[in-house]
Amino acid sequence: MRTDLFDFDLPPERIALRPASPRDSARMLVVENGALRDQIISDLPQWLRPGDQLVVNDTKVIAAQLKGRRIGRDTEPKIEATLIKRLGSRWQALVKPAKKLAPGDRIRFGNEGKVCLLGHLDAEVEAKGTEGEVTLAFSFHGPALDQAIADLGSPPLPPYIASKRTPDDQDLADYQTMFAANEGAVAAPTAGLHFTPALEQSLRDRGVALNRVTLHVGAGTFLPVKVDDTDGHKMHAEWGTISAETAERLNVARKNGGRIVAVGTTSLRLLESAASEDGTIQPFAAETSIFITPGYRLRAVDALITNFHLPKSTLFMLVSAFSGLETMKQAYAHAIAQGYRFYSYGDACLLFRAER
């Protein structure tokens, strides 16, 4: 499909720079059979039925953004690196400015007032790709490396927030869901940011169960689609897991009439990656690079809670596949006109799958 079909105008003031407080006071646009209804997140239980199954992503955002300098040459330019994929004891990273680095160069990460046990963390550039990505071999390994990254790094806020204000300590809490448990993401599964213990209890009181899966969200979630046709776009692979127990629980619930409600596009992409042709969810432990656009036949998910996404992004393409492109264009136009807040810290949609 043509990428420009998924374009729309978004006023810059609609981009949220801080989350709603409390989290479940954010607005929620319900989209069902073409009808639009303005609600808030705490209203979610009344839109679900006893026996429905919420699926949340319990990945935890790591402090994947590191600042340092190239050492060992005449000049020592500043280097920023965002870790995007663990490769055993190494990491693949996006770096700026990439032109300042070559294989064999050494980077020293560390800054005053925020140092790890040894004061800094060194890495050698082992390989360099064509789009700013490099492979870094660090001087530490295992738990020592993880601790050094946690001490020296900061959460990599999306560029549409970080370009408008300086990330701060408040983001350490704000940019992590209440479900965060398994470290590995470099971006938050942002639909989960709306949940609170009070909302979880209200859902359980309603008879709605909560199930955890893991998809380690990569930096590719921020990347725009740069090709003119969606067929030419390549998704970055992300690692995900669904346990046998969770898969069985979801399959039994659906067989008994319960709906599968994905909290976020990451949960949906993982569930669809694990689903067989008849919609049965299989245990899963692998990478997925599934790319969902209109025309894709959804098999495993009946409803989706998600934030408002960027124009021409893979995520807006996904929600258009889920609820219909024209319906989503109308929903986004309504949201813009009504002052909804967009992107990672913004408001949410509750989408019910379009009938085919």
CB-side exposure of 313: number of CA atoms within 13 Å? 14
Answer for the pair 273, 265: CB distance below 8 angstroms, yes or no. Answer: no
Q: How far apart are CA 167 and CA 159, in angstroms?
A: 11
Query: pLDDT band at residue 141, thresholds of 50, 70 and 90?
Result: confident
Rounded mean pLDDT, 27-49: 97
Looking at per-residue pLDDT, the higher value among 87 and 320 belongs to: 320
- Taking the CB of residue 257, how many other CB atoms lie within 10 A of it? 10
CATH 2.90.10.10 fits 65-154, yes or no: no
pLDDT score, position 225: 84
* E-assigned strand segments in the chain: 27-32, 35-40, 53-57, 59-61, 65-71, 78-87, 90-96, 106-109, 121-128, 133-138, 182-185, 209-215, 238-242, 260-263, 284-288, 303-307, 348-352
The per-residue pLDDT for range 71-102, each reduced to its tens digit, is 998 899 999 998 988 887 799 998 989 889 99
Q: How far apart are CA 171 and CA 162, in angstroms?
A: 11
With a cut of 50, say whether residue 119 has pLDDT above it: yes
pTM of the shown model? 0.90
Least confident of 56-70, 105-119, 191-205, 220-234: 105-119
Rounded mean pLDDT, 113-123: 65
The DSSP letter of residue 281 is B
Answer for the pair 245, 212: CB distance below 8 angstroms, yes or no. Answer: no
State which CATH number among 3.90.1300.10, 3.40.1780.10, 3.40.1160.10, 3.90.25.10 fits the domain covering 3-61+172-352.
3.40.1780.10
Least confident of 105-114, 181-190, 207-216: 105-114
The full set of domain ranges for the chain reads 3-61+172-352, 65-154
Give the chain's length.
356
